[in-house]
Amino acid sequence: MEFIQSTLDKLYPQPSIPLNHKDEYTLLIAVLLSAQCTDKRVNMVTPYLFERADNPYDMSKIPVDEIREIIRPCGLSPRKSKAISNLSKILLDKHQGQVPQTFEELEALPGVGHKTASVVMSQAFGYPAFPVDTHIHRLAYRWRLSNGKSVEQTEKDLKKAFSEDTWNKLHLQIIYYGREFCPARGHQIENCEICQKLNPKGDR
């Protein structure tokens, strides 16, 4: 654990959130759009969407079909556009236009699962959470920190392995490391300092 943290702190001492946003609402929408889509593509789409509406009041006024056309490059646009429209209306009706600050209320919103809620809770509100995306799930298995059975199990294992005050930063650091040094395809162990130490055979 100490080796992983020291290596990641050396490489990414102050990791920034890879999704462009300006407040809790725009972060929520960007994370929702990132499901089965790259952050890079989301960041290409959100400027057009947020120029049209960057708050729940304005977003609730836009026809779902228009939202769908704007976010089409992100994939799953029929489902995501309905979720964006409906959650914006719910924020106005039930939360005074504000993004709620509990897992229960966030996960009750359309299109918001546990991972999305975890990102918002950790990065918008500073609540200790360990969102597990595909990068983190893959690396936790490669580094023998979890058995890879499910993202739920990976989250539990990582929370046990690392102290709570490191979770919010560590989750971003692992994402960046996975993209740069430990990808799913074309992984070159000679370029991956952590795998060289923890999984030198590269058998995961």
Question: Which one is catalytic: 39, 58, 82, 115?
Answer: 115
Catalytic: 169? no
Residues of the chain with pLDDT > 90: what percent? 90
Residue type for position 34: S
Cβ burial 69-84 (10 Å sphere, 16+ → b, else e): ebbeebebbeebbebb
pTM given for the model: 0.92
Q: What is the pLDDT of residue 107?
A: 97
Q: Which of 127-131's residues contact partners 24+ apart within 8 Å by CB, and which partners? A: 127/101, 128/164, 128/165, 128/167, 128/168, 129/167, 129/168, 129/171, 130/155, 130/158, 130/159, 130/162, 130/167, 130/170, 130/171, 131/155, 131/171
Q: How far apart are CA 112 and CA 5, in angstroms?
A: 29
Whether the per-residue pLDDT at 18 is higher than 70: the answer is yes
Q: What is the mean pLDDT of the chain?
A: 95
Q: What is the pLDDT of residue 204?
A: 67
Q: How far apart are CA 20 and CA 123, in angstroms?
A: 12
Short-list 64, 55, 133, CA closest to 95: 55
Q: What is the pLDDT of residues 41-63, one digit of tens each?
A: 999 999 999 999 999 999 999 99
Domains of the chain with bracketed CATH: 2-15+130-198 (1.10.1670.10), 24-124 (1.10.340.30)
Whether the per-residue pLDDT at 29 is higher than 90: the answer is yes
Q: How far apart are CA 59 and CA 127, in angstroms?
A: 27
Q: What is the pLDDT of residues 158-185, one digit of tens each?
A: 999 999 999 999 999 999 999 999 998 8
Catalytic: 115? yes
Q: How far apart are CA 188 and CA 204, in angstroms?
A: 13
Q: What is the largest CA-CA distance in the chain?
A: 55
Question: Which one is catalytic: 39, 133, 157, 169?
Answer: 133
Out of 3-17, 51-65, 73-87, 186-200, which region has the weakest mean confidence (pLDDT)? 186-200
Q: What is the pLDDT of residue 202?
A: 65
Residue type for position 80: K
